[in-house]
Amino acid sequence: MTWEFSSPLTLLGGWRDRADAADLHELLLLGFTVDLPFLEKTLVPTARVLGARVTVVGDAAQGLYDPVDVRMAGRAYFHGLAACRDGAFHPKLALLIGADDVVAAIGSGNPTMAGWGYNDELWTVLRGRVSHAPEGLHQLGEWLGRLGGVVSMPGYVRELLQEIAARLGEFQVSPHPTRVLGNLDGGLLDRLPSGPVDELRLYAPFVDGNGRALSRIVEHFDPVRVVVGVQERWSSYDGDVILRALGGRDAELRLLPERRPRHGKLLEWESGGSWSALTGSANLTASALLEPAVAGGNCELGVLAPTSASLLPEGVSAPLTRLRGRRTVRPVRARPTLLVLGALLTGTGMLQVTLARPYDIAVTAEVSPDGSPGSWITIGTIAAGTTFQEFAAPEAAGAVVRIVDPRTESHTESPPVFVVHPARCARRRADDDRPTLRHAYAEEEIFTDEELARRFRYDLLRLSDQLAERRTARPGTARTPAASAVHDRWAAYLDECERAVGRPLTLALFGRAGMPDPSPGLRWGVTADITTDDAEEPTDPAGEAAATEMTASQRVAWQRWIARAVSRTVPGEPESPLMVRILVARLFVQLLAHGVWDLTDDSWRGHLARLTGGLMPGRHDDLPVEAVEQARTLTAVCMGLLRSGVALTGGTPADLIAARTWRAVRGVIAEVNAEAAGDLLIPPVLPRAHVLGRSEWEGLLDLAADHDPLAPVVSELAEDGLELEYIDGLHRVTGRFRNPVPVAARIATLLEDHLETALVHAVADGRWAFVAWRRPHLVLAVAPLGNSWRVYRVDQPATPESRLGGEGLPQTGLIGRAVRLGQEPPDIARQVLAQVGIDHVLLLRRLTA
């Protein structure tokens, strides 16, 4: 049926005006020639407001735009190009998909002002619901899923088409006579029912100059009568060729109105009173109707459907002799020799460039901010025989890329493509109204501008609370898409962080990799200001502002705020997003470097310990690997600051905080790269600065990487001049000490967290002491002082070190009496040794050897 539909813009307007205000999820446009500035004015803004992910794909050699006029490609929608082996990428499709609805327009109009506004086009519209959709929509999905295997296109475009195809496959099929046909691996004409038919009618703006296609069509349908429509002014045909192809059959020449170009393609036939029609993109040419795309033909898309009446417009009948000697075939414009299909910016900051085909020479890749004259710079070379290359040259999303043949004096170059940033082109999220900071704060501002710092402190706590509440109220249930070019999770995460906390703080947290400048930058134009290098002042490398010491009131304000920030961001439930927690951790590191706490003030340690233990992803965090690595790095830096100036084996409050945190995060730190700390290793410039030096950082990582759980004990004992060895079940400690008893007791205390039973032998200057420690029993053998076995009961919170750390041998907790070494040890001593499989006689021989 025909109705008031005029172009895909009608479909979009209808979706916009729906009473249910349903979101639009996908909008896919395929065309031969594509006018991007036209689409950016008429379609893209509306589609994006409706929530759609917009994808535009055209023939690599047919772009109708100057790059300086394109503003949104790569930043607001996916743009890519396609290339067939020898033919043209020629389908015309507008596909709109929502949560429950789908609308597809398949026809003849390119996404240009002419194709959607001026020309006389022919469209077929298919509509479906998730519960019932015509079979043609499933056939369209199958065609989209296979398209990237036959037609050359960038990987990200192929993935987009496969995702859309999968989405169409989710709609339930309802019987319908309409069929969607393609020619990927077979000619379109061979997919149509054959004749004989009563009448054949056909029209296309382009008819083969050699008549091959028209002859095959007539042969295929074997019609009684043929009606050929032409526009004498607009159609491209050879009249003598048409006459020969008709072969003397009863035929009518219908001259169609010339008011505007008729660009619609129509092949229809009547048999037994019923009409059927093939509409779509295919002209009456061999490359469109006879040859499959895989064998060098065009890539075409059509719809075969029954119709209630003929679709060929009325016109003026004329004798066939009017065609004789008339030829309007236009010369075919040569295709560019170099073609680039797409450029993608990955989350790691790599620029991926895809060529249409391998070339027998190395070609040069060039980029420009906007494609303006004189703005192109070379970023590298793509080797001969390859179609894909990555460059470590991150450019702004929306930057323009082309390839150039360096051999030619005329500077042969490809049509341009636009760098695509997947995160910025993604479909609008359901929570795009999520909270954000009210200002794009920068680190240097919040530490130097007291008023801005006050606003920032309030703003970040507000954001943390709102995001935590949102995560609890709206737990994530959607399946995370697999990592791919389209779904670059790292780039998407950076974009999410930038939306929440602003670009400056996101750059501070993660660096510039994968973060293109979202602004279009300076645009070229005839009114651009002219500047000269002579006007620039020389830069004084020593002119950077020196770090400024905070006032006492600023220090107090930051101390109080960071305590609240830790309690608000790492409370357990509700849990703030990881981006907020690592931002607070980075600020904590900066505050320590700014000397916010006196060197004798350890009040910060408890807060930093709590934060350090809460930096790794929680149950609500579904994060890319790069974000987890950053969390690991900050965990390690914070642990390094906690370890600075304390002993993991000590007994002071600061020692215990560090030791407890170390046990919790050591496994995390073991996987950190030594070069990942970056600007978190801050020089001690300001008074009272607590900072982590390079040697301390590397020592921390070495300690974490040591698989021996006693590595921290061995390391700290070495700093005290003690050497700990493990020999046949005994931990033997030697060094410069006079009394071995407190040394053995200290080692046994340190080993308690790692061993159920600790056996320690301390030896120095002819004196030795042996301690067997299995709570609550402490067995002591010592010589020559005492020369006896002793057994103590040591209950919590006492330790071997607290019991034996003084002078002499204590009586507190002593069980029974001391037994001389030559005699059998007390029963409890023998039981403790037996539990670890040690005979007391053989043990004494080792101790006295």
For residue range 299-308, list pLDDT tens digits in order.
999 999 999 9
Q: What is the DSSP string of 541-576?
A: GGGSPPP-PPPHHHHHHHHHHHHHHHHHHSSSSSPP
Higher pLDDT, 805 or 306: 306
Which of 29-43, 129-143, 727-741 is predicted with the least confidence, judged by mean pLDDT?
727-741
Task: Assign 483 a pLDDT band (cuts: 50, 70, 90).
Answer: low
Cis peptide leading into residue 154 (ω within 30°): no
> What CATH homologous superfamily does 8-176 map to?
Endonuclease Chain A (3.30.870.10)
In whole angstroms, give the CA distance from residue 464 to residue 458: 10
The answer to whether residue 533 scores a pLDDT higher than 50 is no
Question: Angle of helix 489-501 relative to helix 625-643, nearest 10 degrees?
Answer: 60
Q: SS3 of 849, please?
A: coil
Task: Assign 59 a pLDDT band (cuts: 50, 70, 90).
Answer: very high
What's the confidence (pLDDT) of residue 333? 76
In whole angstroms, give the CA distance from residue 506 to residue 508: 5
For residue range 436-466, list pLDDT tens digits in order.
888 888 888 898 888 999 999 999 989 888 8
Task: Assign 545 a pLDDT band (cuts: 50, 70, 90).
Answer: very low
Place of tokens 């995560």: 471
Strand ordering across the sheet containing 123-129: 78-82, 53-59, 24-30, 93-98, 101-107, 123-129
In whole angstroms, give the CA distance from residue 291 to residue 90: 13
The answer to whether residue 2 scores a pLDDT higher than 60 is no
In whole angstroms, give the CA distance from residue 683 to residue 557: 23
Higher pLDDT, 275 or 510: 275
Q: By C-alpha distance, which of 82, 107, 79 is closest to 92?
A: 107
Q: SS3 of 825, please?
A: coil
Task: Assign 573 a pLDDT band (cuts: 50, 70, 90).
Answer: low
Question: Which residues, at least 6 apart from 553, have a Cβ–Cβ distance to it below 8 Å?
Answer: none
Task: Assign 510 a pLDDT band (cuts: 50, 70, 90).
Answer: confident
Q: By C-alpha distance, which of 107, 104, 119 is closest to 265?
A: 107
Average pLDDT of the residues of the chain: 86
Cα angle value 253/259/261 (rounded, 5°): 75
**Beta strand 777-783 pairing with 767-774:** antiparallel
Which of 371-380, 382-391, 594-603 is predicted with the least confidence, judged by mean pLDDT?
371-380
- CB distance 779 to 828 below 8 Å: yes
For residue range 404-433, list pLDDT tens digits in order.
988 766 678 899 999 998 888 888 765 556
**Beta strand 223-230 pairing with 340-345:** unpaired
For residue range 645-685, list pLDDT tens digits in order.
888 877 789 988 998 998 889 888 988 988 888 889 999 98
What is the average pLDDT across 461-487?
A: 66
Alpha carbons within 13 angstroms on the beta-carbon side of residue 833 total 23
Which of 196-205, 235-244, 383-392, 531-540 is predicted with the least confidence, judged by mean pLDDT?
531-540
For residue range 91-115, list pLDDT tens digits in order.
999 999 998 999 999 999 999 999 9
Q: By C-alpha distance, which of 393, 336, 342, 386 is closest to 362?
A: 386
What's the confidence (pLDDT) of residue 529? 38
Q: What is the DSSP string of 302-324?
A: EEEEEESS--SPP-EEE-GGGGT
What is the average pLDDT across 377-390?
A: 91
Q: By C-alpha distance, which of 376, 377, 379 is closest to 390?
A: 379
Q: SS3 of 146, please?
A: helix
Which tokens go with 456?
A: 């920032």
What is the average pLDDT across 701-713?
A: 77
Extents of the domains making up the chain: 8-176, 189-323, 443-474+549-705, 721-848
Question: Which residues, at least 6 apart from 195, have a Cβ–Cβ distance to it below 8 Å?
Answer: 220, 221, 222, 223, 269, 271
Stated as kind and residue range, the H or E segment containing 384 is none
Residue 50 to residues 53, 97, 318, Cα–Cα distance (Å): 9, 11, 50
What's the confidence (pLDDT) of residue 555? 92
What is the average pLDDT across 680-703?
A: 90
Strand ordering across the sheet containing 363-368: 377-382, 363-368, 400-404, 417-420, 340-345, 351-355, 388-391
Phi-psi region of 595 (alpha: psi -120 to 50; beta: other; left: phi over 0): left
